Chains A and B, each alone.
Chain A
Amino acid sequence: MIPPTFDYVRPASVEEAVRGLAEGGEEAKVLAGGQSLLPLLRLRLAFPELVVDVGRVAELRGVREDGDTLVIGALTTHHDVLRDPLVRRYAGLLAAATATVADPAVRHRGTLGGSLAHADPAGDLPAVALALDAELVAAGPGGRRTVPARDFFVDYLQSALAPDELLVEIRVPKAEGWGFHYEKFHRVAQAWAVVGVAALVRRDDGRVAEARIGLTNMGATPLRAAAAEAALAGAGDGQAVARAAEAAAEGTRPTRDTSASPEYREHLARVLTRRAVLAAAGMG
């Protein structure tokens, strides 16, 4: 549990951090809350030559409003996210899912930006970002660019960030009036989700007008359950929701590990999607 040798810098600003990353090139890694990177280092599964610790970049913390958008600093801890009044009001799904992340110790250290940039499909928040249609803002040597969540998660543990880019903000469209629920299935409290389903539902006249479903741990990246979303439109009762949820695993490619086979994960995706949508729609 001893990391390999690496160089370490602790920039005070985004510009300094980006410079550091640019100098480190492919061999640089960003350290935020350390809840993903440090275990990788200690297990010697990652061998960066440079660690850029952004923990002191104050401008990356906090939540603010920007018109119809909520702007969350990438370095905002899970603990701060789930207690933030703006997040609770406009992005309740994020607050609800964040409350299920690991345990209080991890939530006090881990950051929203860190868990998105880590791009672990078993993490709870990538699927939530997908369901929320969030946008991720990256700062690089050439300035800032905005990446929609659906383009951000490229492959297993691989995001759209270039090696010299730093995730600085998460922009979430305000979703007032949407019902939400995060249904996490895990074997012990602090364990990763075997499968998780993030559901946002807008109802109109007692029917599901629109549903957005993010799936945790159903493939190499977090996924949207597009077929189920389409099938849910117009669903007016529990049975209709259940029928639509049968499509939840379409297009997924879940993995096999000590907790579940792909087949079982597909089954869970269907069951949990039904439950999440019913809860989000207030039909449960």
Chain B
Amino acid sequence: MTSTTEREVGRARPRKEDAHLITGQTNWTDNIQAGGLLYMAFLRSPLAHARIERIDVAPALQRPGVVAAFTGADLADGLGSMPCVWPVTEDIVMPAHPPVAADEVRYAGDPVAVVVARDRYAAADALEAIEVDYEPLPPVLDLEGALAEDAPLVHADKGTNRCYVWPLRTGEEFDAVRERAEVTLKRRYHQQRLIANAMEPRAVAVTPVAASGEYTLYSSTQVPHIARLLLAGVTGIPENKLRVVAPDVGGGFGSKLQVYGEEAVALDVARRLGRPVKWTESRSEGYLATHQGRGMIQDVEIAATREGRLLGLKVDLLADMGAYLMLITPGTPLLGAFMYPGIYKMDSYEFTCTGVFTTRTPTDAYRGAGRPEATFAIERIMDDLAAELGVDPMELRRRNWIRHEEFPYTTVAGLTYDSGHYEAATDRALALFGYDELRAEQRKRAEGQDAVRLGIGVSTYTEMCGLAPSRVLRDLRYAAGGWEAASIRMLPTGKVEVVTGTSPHGQGHVTSWSQIAADVLGVPFEDVEVVHGDTRAAPQGMDTYGSRSLVVGGSAVHHAAVKVVEKARKVAAHLLEASEQDLDFADGVFSVKGSPEARRTIQEVAFATFTSHDLPEGLEPTINAEHLLDPDTFSYPHGTHLCAVEVDTETGQVRIRSYVCVDDVGRVVNPMIVEGQVHGGLAQGIAQALYEEAVYDDEGNLVSGTMADYLVPSAADLPDFVTDRTQTPATSNPLGVKGVGEAGTIASTPAVVNAVVDALRPLGVGDVRMPCTPERIWQAVREARS
């Protein structure tokens, strides 16, 4: 038998996950039922900042169907402070973060009480009976103002709103390169706050077994393993008595890379009452209380020669922490710290991030987490520099990017990019886009004083994926490691169970991991099942975020499968009375070299290890293999995105006319899944550029509190994306993969804003703040003309 079956890796397999999702046979957390189930509802502060003078839940207890009600003070003896696991500096200010506020509320939406009732309607109604007297305190909303001497304090006991200052200096002194630079540009960019808007809102259910003190927590989370560890700490429930299950999870985008107070409260209430409890947030409740993303002022300075050779980059960030430090709030901006130099060579890099407390919803990871902000800053200022120098923006990039023959290349920020081919991706993108033709049309429109201008935006990005080498995390003061676990069980019938520590919530790991395992084991794709998202069934793992799952978790699956084959080879050799070296293994069949009729399938071998009647001396029964993988380094996807927009200078309306992206995410396991990730990522990145913003008023109220005001674009608002790929395999993992979950989001935002500014530059407009709303564009044009 020859190796003729098509390899699984690289095939656009329809997802195993989809049938149950699209036929509604799903198991969302909100579907969890249990005898005697009670429902929780949270009363939340209507004020951004206030002292709780008095709170009385007794009237709520009089309402029909209400079983219990608790204030923050009531819960304080059962629950500790919510954890932040990334104290980025030694002297970081780490305020207490009670799951339910007891003395002071610090953002509109901060919970102050929880009602527990027999149904969710009774719980919602009873909230209105709770009496709270608030003494308003001044809101803290302006990032620069918050750092002033006399600014009101978010956490009075800390004496400052400055959470931390985190510096990075590499290469030459920036002051020195500024001295010799012929051109320097300084820009200020604003990263608005964003709301992730996962399709499924947050939800949590807890079923206790009072007698044994065991608890199962179901949560719509990206991180069941991290949640188990940290919730054990917050609640005092021993880790081995706490099982966390992430059932079907409908998206996260970072918003569920979190351990939330509501989860801790659910555990504590279930413990106090000995009854199962459940809570599901509404969309507008989530807008207030689910962590938000971005929220940053970026001061960027770039130095270059007249010929357009980059000399150095200086970045000063003010990062909005919001009211409390959640899981990785302080570290999120720093995930971009090493990425501001992007794909470019330069001599000097200075970076400083100052974390600032405000009386707004806490921020934390949102798709890309720090890296979109970095890519935006460098790609925007590259366009501004090109305009300043009078060169084509793509030409300026060519003059400065790392050439393919220079890999591996250690950047000025100290990262070693293992592979990449920026020229190839760019050439392909330019050809697909029709760059020269569009430039010609742009000139024609400008010369004709056309009210609708054409703009072309460029973004040549890279990102740092595959989080993360544990020793790097140590150096960054992150409190845990970045490894991933996989184990594989060959069952007696030859079917295969893959157990992964990743926790998919839309990414299709069941399909991709099946493809990886099927290839190594030589078994049919259909014979592989993937178990995930349950700390009892998949006890070890670091979960899913940061485009890490395939790079780290998928590679762990590969390694575990290789171990299975190694053991199976020993058994097959024994059964075939041959030496291991004399066995071929292809398409799931061990055969003796030179006598192909002497063969055993891997399924036959699996059964033999199950009966264990005749195993080689010293070998244990069955074939289970486990691999825990701590990556050596990061992976670096890259690509070139090109966007053409039509900007109506009369109304300010932007229409994306065409969007081309050529991404290099390394080797592709499932092209259809990659395509889906790119499309969704583009939509979210474009949304930041043009549509979405969490808007607060001067009192600190969230004004964009529903989807009527927080504008999530739909397919009707987006162009047909033209996508293609180059494949430069990563050298850092056996699969050659780089990660794709965030690429589209990271690359597209600057491509779109660059296009908008490019359209308006002839009119004298140099920047438009995100989101580039029609009114902002209209104002910018008006100001430039006056």
**A joins B in a complex:** yes
**Which residues of A pack against B, CB within 8 Å?**
1-2, 4-5, 43, 103, 185, 187-192, 194, 257-261, 264, 267-268, 271-272
Interface residues in B752-786 by Cβ distance below 8 A to A read 773-775, 778-779
- Of A185, A194, A258, most B-chain CB atoms within 10 Å: A258
* Contact present for B691 and A258 (CB under 8 Å): no
Whether A188 contacts B120 by the Cβ 8 Å rule is: no
**How far apart are the CA atoms of A185 and B773 in the complex, in Å?**
12
Interface membership of B722, Cβ < 8 A: no
Q: What is the minimal beta-carbon distance from B329 to any residue of chain A, in angstroms?
A: 26
CB under 8 Å from chain A, chain B span 700-748: 703-704, 706, 708-709, 711-714, 716-717
Confirm or deny: B125 has a beta carbon within 8 angstroms of a beta carbon on chain A.
Answer: yes
**Top-3 shortest CB links A-B:** A189-B716, A1-B282, A2-B124
| Neighbour of A258 across the interface among B695, B712, B713, B779, CB < 8 A | B695
Cβ-defined contact, B653 with A185, below 8 A: yes
Chain A nearest CB, measured from B781 CB (Å) = 11
Chain A interface mostly: loop
Complex Cα–Cα for A220 and B716 (A): 29
In the bound complex, do residue B651 and residue A271 qualify as a contact, i.e. CB atoms below 8 Å apart? yes
- Those of B273-309 within 8 Å (CB) of chain A: 282-285
Cβ of B435 under 8 Å from chain A: no
Also in contact, A264 and B778, with CB within 8 A (given A188-B713, A257-B709): yes
Q: B774 — which chain A residues lie within 8 A by C-beta?
A: 185, 187, 194, 260, 264
Bound Cα distance A70, B125 (Å)? 45
Distance in angstroms between the alpha carbons of A190 and B778 in the assembled complex: 22
How close is A178's CB to chain B, nearest CB, in angstroms? 26
B121 at the interface (CB under 8 A from A): yes
Q: List 29 A-B contacts (CB under 8 A).
A: A1-B282, A1-B283, A1-B284, A2-B120, A2-B121, A2-B124, A4-B125, A5-B125, A43-B706, A103-B714, A185-B651, A185-B774, A187-B691, A188-B714, A188-B716, A189-B716, A190-B714, A191-B708, A191-B711, A192-B708, A257-B709, A258-B693, A258-B709, A259-B773, A260-B775, A261-B775, A264-B775, A264-B778, A267-B778
Choose among B124, B695, B775, B779 the residue with the greatest number of A CB atoms under 10 Å from its CB: B775
> Within the assembled complex, what's the spacing in Å between the Cα atoms of A268 and B704?
22
Residue of A with least CB distance to B693: A258
Residues of B within 8 A of A103 (CB): 714, 716
Residue of B nearest to A265 (CB): B775
Q: Which residues of A contact B121 (CB under 8 A)?
A: 2, 5
Instruction: Report the Cα distance A30→B101, complex, angstroms.
Output: 40
Name A185's closest neighbour in chain B (CB-CB). Answer: B651
B427 within 8 A of A: no
Chain A residues in 8 Å Cβ range of B778: 264, 267
Chain A's closest residue to B280 (CB) is A1
User: Besides the contacts A189-B714, A258-B695, A264-B778, what 14 more A-B pairs have beta carbons closer than 8 Å?
Assistant: A1-B283, A1-B285, A4-B125, A43-B284, A185-B774, A187-B691, A187-B711, A188-B714, A257-B709, A258-B704, A261-B775, A264-B775, A267-B778, A272-B651
Main secondary structure of the interface of B (DSSP, over half): loop
A185 CB contacts on chain B under 8 angstroms = 651, 653, 774
Instruction: Chain A residues near B620: list those with CB within 8 A.
Output: none
CB pair A188 B695 closer than 8 Å: no
Min CB distance B637 to A, Å, is 29
Expressed in whole angstroms, the minimum distance between the Cβ of B125 and any Cβ of chain A is: 7
Chain B residue at smallest Cβ distance from A5: B125
CA distance A185 to B777 in the complex (A): 15
Q: How far is the CA of A185 from the CA of B652 in the complex (A)?
A: 11
When C-beta atoms are compared, the residue in chain B nearest to A267 turns out to be B778
Most buried by B among A190, A260, A271: A190
Across-interface contacts of A4 in B (CB, < 8 A): 125
Q: How far is the CA of A188 from the CA of B285 in the complex (A)?
A: 23
Closest partner residue, chain B, to A257 (CB atom): B709
Q: Which chain A positions have C-beta within 8 A of B392?
A: none
Q: In the complex, what's the smallest C-beta–C-beta distance from A134 to chain B, in angstroms?
A: 26
In the docked arrangement, what's the CA distance between A191 and B708, Å?
A: 7
Measured as residues with beta carbon below 8 angstroms from the partner, the interface class of chain B is: 20 to 34
A188–B704 touching, CB < 8 Å:
no
Which residues of B have CB within 8 Å of A194? 774
* Residues of B close to A43: CB separation below 8 A: 284, 706
Q: Separation in Å of the A139 CB from the closest CB of chain B?
A: 31
B711 to nearest A CB, angstroms?
5
Asked if A188 contacts B284 (CB within 8 A), the reply is no
Number of A-B contacts (CB under 8 A): 61
Per-residue CB contact flags for chain B residues 188-218 toward chain A (1 = under 8 Å, else 0) read 0000000000000000000000000000000
Residue B650, interface by CB 8 Å? yes
A189 to B655, CA, bound (A): 12
| Complexed CA–CA distance, A279 and B261 (Å) | 56
The interface residues of chain A lying within 8 Å CB-to-CB of B651 are 185, 268, 271-272
Closest to B706 in A: A43
Min CB gap A157→B, angstroms:
14
Query: Which residue of A is nearest B687, CB measured?
Result: A188
| Docked CA distance A189–B714 (Å) | 7
* Least CB distance, B717 to chain A, in whole angstroms: 5
Residues of chain A lying within 8 A (CB to CB) of residue B125:
2, 4-5
User: A258 and B283 in contact (CB under 8 A), knowing A188-B711, A188-B712, A192-B708?
Assistant: no
Which residues of A are found within 8 Å of B285, using beta-carbon distances? 1
**Of listed A2, A5, A192, residue having the most chain B CB within 10 A:** A2
* Complex: chain B residue closest to A2, CB-CB: B124
- What residue in chain A is nearest B775 (Cβ atoms)? A264
What residues of chain B lie closer than 8 Å to A264, measured between beta carbons? Answer: 774-775, 778-779
B695 contacts A189, CB within 8 Å?
A: no
CA distance A2 to B712 in the complex (A): 23
Question: In the complex, which of the residues B284, B716, B775, B779 contacts A259, with contact meaning CB atoms closer than 8 Å?
Answer: B775
Nearest-neighbour CB distance to chain A for B38, whole angstroms, equals 16
| Chain B, Cβ-Cβ closest to A268 | B651
- CA A258 to CA B696, docked complex, whole Å: 10
A189 to chain B, nearest CB (A): 4
- Note all chain B residues with C-beta closer than 8 A to A267: 778
Distance in angstroms from B185 CB to nearest chain A CB is 30
B717: A residues at CB distance < 8 A: 188-189
A108 to chain B, nearest CB (A): 16
Q: Determine the chain A residues whose CB is within 8 A of the CB of B282 once the complex forms.
A: 1-2
Chain B, 505-527, CB within 8 A of any chain A CB: none
Instruction: Tell me the complex Cα distance, A143–B523, Å.
Output: 77
Interface centre among A187, A190, A272 (most CB of B within 10 A): A187
Shortest C-beta distance, A68 to chain B (Å), equals 37
Contacts of B706 on A, CB cut-off 8 Å? 43
Tell me the nearest residue of chain B to A42, going by C-beta: B282
Q: How far is the CB of A49 from chain B (nearest CB, A)?
A: 14
Q: Give every chain B residue within 8 A of A189 (Cβ-Cβ).
A: 713-714, 716-717
Question: Which residue of A is nearest B281, CB measured?
Answer: A1
- A257 smallest CB distance to B (angstroms): 7
Q: Could you tell me the distance between the alpha carbons of A190 and B714 in the complex, rounded to whole angstroms?
A: 8
Asked whether B691 lies within 8 Å of A188 as measured between CB atoms, the reply is yes
State in angstroms the CA–CA spacing of A4 and B774 once bound together: 38
User: Complex formed: what's the CA distance from A271 to B121 in Å?
Assistant: 48
The CA of A261 and the CA of B704, in the complex, are separated in Å by 15
User: What's the least CB distance linking A263 to chain B, in Å?
Assistant: 9
A261 vs B652: C-alpha distance when bound (angstroms): 13
Q: Find out whether the CB atom of B712 lies under 8 angstroms from the CB atom of A271.
A: no
- Contact code string B69-99 (vs A, CB < 8 Å = 1, else 0): 0000000000000000000000000000000
Within 8 Å CB of B693, what residues of A?
Answer: 258
Q: Report the separation of the CA atoms of residues A2 and B285 in the bound assembly, to the nearest whole angstrom.
A: 12
Q: List chain B residues, Cβ under 8 A from A261.
A: 775
Set of chain A residues within 8 Å of B284, measured between Cβ atoms: 1, 43
Closest-CB distance, B776 to chain A (whole angstroms):
10
Bound state CA distance, A68 and B773, in angstroms?
44
Nearest chain B residue, comparing its CB with the CB of A261 = B775
Give Cα distance in the complex from A272 to B773, angstroms.
Answer: 17
Tell me, rounded to whole Å, the shortest Cβ–Cβ distance linking A153 to chain B: 21
Write out the residue numbers on chain B whose beta carbons fall within 8 Å of the beta carbon of A2.
120-121, 124-125, 282
Q: Within the assembled complex, what's the spacing in Å between the Cα atoms of A133 and B711?
A: 33
